[in-house]
A and B are shown apart, each in its own frame.
Chain A
Amino acid sequence: MKTSNIKELLDKIKENPYKTIVVKTPHCGTIEFVVGEGEEVKGPRGKYKEQPGTLLAYLTRENNQKPLYAQERGIISKIYPFQKGDFVEANTPILEIKHYLTKEEVLELILKETLYLFRAPEKGKYYFVPEIDKRIKAKGCQKVKLHPGEEVLILSRMKRETFLPYEGPEGIIYHLYFKPGQSLNAEDILFGVCPPEDLESIKEVVLKVKSEWEEK
């Protein structure tokens, strides 16, 4: 992705720095809202996320009144027109939360758009080949350049080890999304690669986001 494109992407996010979270019913039941439109809600809190978020509504089925809590911070932007005691089916949207993006979410969005993401082809434990592993440990991942067809990873599964070649554009590893030896599922992101010429501009944007993005 070109430098201008990255900046454009950031501008685009800045124009609309929100994500709309649609809250749906986990199962059928009668609904009773606790919050109103325009109210601010909080997501789970505490070091271990042990405190639930703001109570949004109760969903009652078989006399079992189940609380529905907000999973993210934001403002209630829309409440679907249900009256207290209305019956709703499972998976029915009941309200929307307008969530202001956090720094981490913005960075994730940008990186996912700008980097080439190399994903796990199947479930297993992944390690870098010793040569690359040494280079990463010694100099950091952003000093490692990858070429298409180069053997990068070892997939360890069922006591068999398979070498995985890198398939993607030539570039350097910008970010690692896994820890070597960690058990991963298929399609999990392993690392993101960017062309060497884009490295500086990505870093610049990341720095900009980190310093300028104000969380609400």
Chain B
Amino acid sequence: MLLLDIEKELQFLEEKLTYIKDIFAHKQNENILLLESKLKDFKNSYKNINLAEAKRKLNSLKDLFTFLENKLDRQLTPMDKVRIVRHPQRICLKDILENVYDNYTEIGGQDEYSIDPSMLIARAYITRKVGKKIYNQPVMVIGQEKGHGEEFRNGGSVKPWGNAKALQYMKVAERENIPIHTYVFTPGAYPIEDYPGAAQQIARNLYEMAGLKVPIIAVFSEGGSGGAEAIALADMRLMLSHGYYSVISPEGAAAIEGRIRGKEKASPELIEQCASQLKMTADDNLVMGYIDRIIKEPPLGARPEHFDFFKQLRNEVIKATDEVVLRVRGISLFRYLVLRKLKNPEIYVRWALGAKAKERLLENRYRKFRKMSQHAYIDGRNNLTKIKDKSEELFWAGYSLLHYDILRRHKQVVSQLTEDIKGEIHVLLNRAKTSYHKFMCRFSWFHKRKANVCQLLSLSDWDGHKQETTPYLSPQAKVDKTITCPNASKEGCLDLWAPDLFGEMAGVCSYCGHHFPMEHEWYLYNVFDAHSLREFNQDIEATNPLDFANFSHKLETAKKKTGQKSACLTFEGKIKGIEVVVAVLTAKFRGGTVGAAEGEKFIRAVEKARLKHRPFIAYVHGTAGIRIQEGTNGVIQMPRCTLAIRNYLEAGGLYIVVYDTNSYAGPVASFLGCSPYQFAIRSSNIGFAGPGVIKETTGLEIPPDYHKAYHALSRGHIQGIWDRRQMRANLYQALLTMGGRYLYYH
């Protein structure tokens, strides 16, 4: 060993030490101090001792580094892991493409010459040698790229068109019948509304991924909320041991928890506390069941020089793909035997799927996500109710099968025949009637009689006095005060008296049409037929699955204040006689945030709508997004609910979403945004992230009306804006004109 080699090794160790210090954010740690002092000693002494002695000392120093790295690895806190993931030396997608796959071609753009360089797509292949035969197995690799050109990668924060590009190539993979490997390296999506829109595109990705007929394997390194979900709805979800998967960044959670606004910053202690409370590490997510396996990384996280890790990663993704394929293909017993022997890489599994296997793949995917997060809510139903619900479900399953699938086909033939005969009879009758009238019109007394009859009939036909809906008195209308319209300075609106405004005027400014927020009850009374509402699953209750500090108390307060057990109300009701299933996200319960209970209720409502062949309406009275205190239990509702919606829509259902007040983030970027028919009540705001978050993450100052419904309409995110007072009529119209093919009223 030459002196030059020692210096090289020394430099390597120095870099290692800097990395360790970065990871521990310069926290006082005796192991780091020891490494520092030992390195310093060696640095000062190696030139004064002979080469052999220097070599020996260097080796012992290297051993010390290895030993203490292992020790430090066990001391890593969740926030340290976040720092590992964010470190510039962290492995990134290009390293994986170079080291895990045998060959690849970047597609959909190259480096900075791409529609969005933060989304990297490659057509790659894996070569497997089994016996003497060599197989090249093609895959579509999709993932966020942070490195190898940091200046144009946008930190792995993908713009809406980047996610659209990912979706485009996912469909290419489906057409070519090759598996998709996605690598999640994102702190979150770039929250801008420019077409196709952050939220809407993620929703589209989720919806399409729910139905992609090829195996999808996702590997998480940095799974930041919606941005991660855009490519992570997978049949097998693997996670790197030092990665994180969370609903929000620890800093974001700390800002919310500490009620920090503007330029202030949360304390490092609070950030550290939030990181550990959010349970975002691989181990936590494995326990909660949101990932399938953990891929062990080298101590203190994988870096590009860890070639053994890449080998391990390669084996894991191959194994995962094999497993997904084998679960849906071939004879069951054989499948079982092969699955058991999967540890043997000598077994070659063909990754292309047949038609039946593709169907099974989708079923498995739905079941996989359906089973998730069952521990994260309270099912308060007693055994009797559970039996009642189950038997009702069974009854409806039988009834639907009999009524819609078996009898309906025959009924259709009979009814078509009857209609034809009726038509013929009608023509004959009409002819006879006309001849009779022509004959009778010769007599003057007949004209007079006819006019009288018409008048009488028109009077008796008038049904304006009938009460179609139940009257509702808003508590806001009980206050004796005037209200100023927010548009008063611009539109010159005069002050409005609250009892008038929130009573007769339904919260609508009579000068400019601005819609003041009304309680969700107003809609229940004014949109649905009187006495037609029947709530179900009201005993499914939101809880604090992560034991997030102070949250149980906040949740209890919300429950007491609202009388609800979660932010989601589900019920069956009627609109002008048409039976519908409805889910309402109410803003007054924790801002309408969605957690495991809300997701479960939503899915059950969708399943009910499917079972009963009824239209499904989601009325979003307001939602601030996913409930951050539930961590991944909340964010997983995005793919879960979207899968349920897809199942329902593909079966021929009709799904209408109506947004009111403010609707943001996760729910809009998944199960709400994926609806083909989305409408908004006037004066509502729809978006992915609020103005504060946009400014903080992108540095852009957005105009105050950026999220207004009419902008969402002009960008094509929603299909119409409704006046609150017309919602009943508009919904009825929508039900009549957009009905799905299996819905009963067609």
Question: Residues of A at under 8 Å CB distance from B?
Answer: 46-48, 50, 61-64, 66
The CA of A48 and the CA of B484, in the complex, are separated in Å by: 22
B482 with A61: CB separation less than 8 A? yes
Nearest CB on A from B167, distance (A): 33
| Neighbour of A63 across the interface among B480, B703, B704, CB < 8 A | B480
B701 with A62: CB separation less than 8 A? no
Query: Given that A48-B701, A50-B704 are known contacts, is A62 also in contact with B484, CB under 8 Å in the complex?
Result: no
Closest to A66 in B: B484
Contacts A/B (CB < 8 Å), 19 sampled:
A48-B701, A48-B704, A50-B703, A50-B704, A61-B482, A62-B480, A62-B481, A62-B482, A62-B495, A62-B497, A63-B479, A63-B480, A63-B481, A63-B482, A64-B481, A64-B482, A64-B484, A64-B495, A66-B484
The CA of A63 and the CA of B478, in the complex, are separated in Å by: 13
Q: Is B483 an interface residue (CB 8 A)?
A: yes
The CA of A33 and the CA of B480, in the complex, are separated in Å by: 24
1/0 per residue, CB under 8 A from A, across B684-717: the answer is 0000000000000000010110000000000000
Chain A positions within 8 Å of B701 at CB level: 46-48
Told that A64-B484, A66-B484 touch, could you supply 14 new A-B pairs with CB distance under 8 A? A46-B701, A47-B701, A48-B703, A48-B704, A50-B703, A61-B482, A61-B495, A62-B480, A62-B481, A62-B482, A62-B497, A63-B480, A63-B482, A64-B483
The CA of A48 and the CA of B701, in the complex, are separated in Å by: 9
1/0 per residue, CB under 8 A from A, across B443-481: the answer is 000000000000000000000000000000000000111
Nearest CB on A from B202, distance (A): 27
Count of B interface residues, CB-CB < 8 Å: 11
Nearest CB on A from B194, distance (A): 17
1/0 per residue, CB under 8 A from A, across B488-499: the answer is 000000010100
The CA of A50 and the CA of B484, in the complex, are separated in Å by: 18
- Total A-B pairs in contact (CB under 8 Å)? 24
Nearest CB on A from B182, distance (A): 37
Closest to B479 in A: A63
Nearest CB on A from B685, distance (A): 14
Chain B positions within 8 Å of A63 at CB level: 479-482
Nearest CB on A from B1, distance (A): 61
Chain B positions within 8 Å of A64 at CB level: 481-484, 495
Nearest CB on B from A45, distance (A): 11
Nearest CB on B from A3, distance (A): 43
The CA of A45 and the CA of B150, in the complex, are separated in Å by: 34
The CA of A47 and the CA of B701, in the complex, are separated in Å by: 7
Chain A positions within 8 Å of B482 at CB level: 61-64
Chain B positions within 8 Å of A48 at CB level: 701, 703-704
Chain A positions within 8 Å of B703 at CB level: 48, 50
The CA of A154 and the CA of B497, in the complex, are separated in Å by: 49
Nearest CB on B from A137, distance (A): 31
Chain B positions within 8 Å of A61 at CB level: 482, 495
Chain B positions within 8 Å of A50 at CB level: 703-704
Closest to A63 in B: B481
The CA of A62 and the CA of B497, in the complex, are separated in Å by: 9
The CA of A193 and the CA of B483, in the complex, are separated in Å by: 48
Nearest CB on A from B483, distance (A): 6
Nearest CB on B from A173, distance (A): 33
The CA of A63 and the CA of B482, in the complex, are separated in Å by: 6
Nearest CB on B from A156, distance (A): 27
Minimum-distance CB pairs A-B, first 6: A63-B481, A62-B482, A64-B482, A50-B704, A47-B701, A48-B703
Nearest CB on A from B444, distance (A): 56
Chain A positions within 8 Å of B704 at CB level: 48, 50
Closest to B494 in A: A27
The CA of A66 and the CA of B701, in the complex, are separated in Å by: 28
Closest to B703 in A: A48
Chain A positions within 8 Å of B484 at CB level: 64, 66
Nearest CB on B from A16, distance (A): 31
Chain A positions within 8 Å of B481 at CB level: 62-64
Closest to B495 in A: A64
The CA of A61 and the CA of B483, in the complex, are separated in Å by: 10
Nearest CB on B from A100, distance (A): 25
The CA of A64 and the CA of B484, in the complex, are separated in Å by: 8
Nearest CB on B from A63, distance (A): 3
The CA of A63 and the CA of B495, in the complex, are separated in Å by: 11
Nearest CB on A from B687, distance (A): 16
The CA of A48 and the CA of B703, in the complex, are separated in Å by: 6
Nearest CB on B from A98, distance (A): 24
B residues 497-549 touching A (CB-CB < 8 Å): 497
Closest to A27 in B: B495
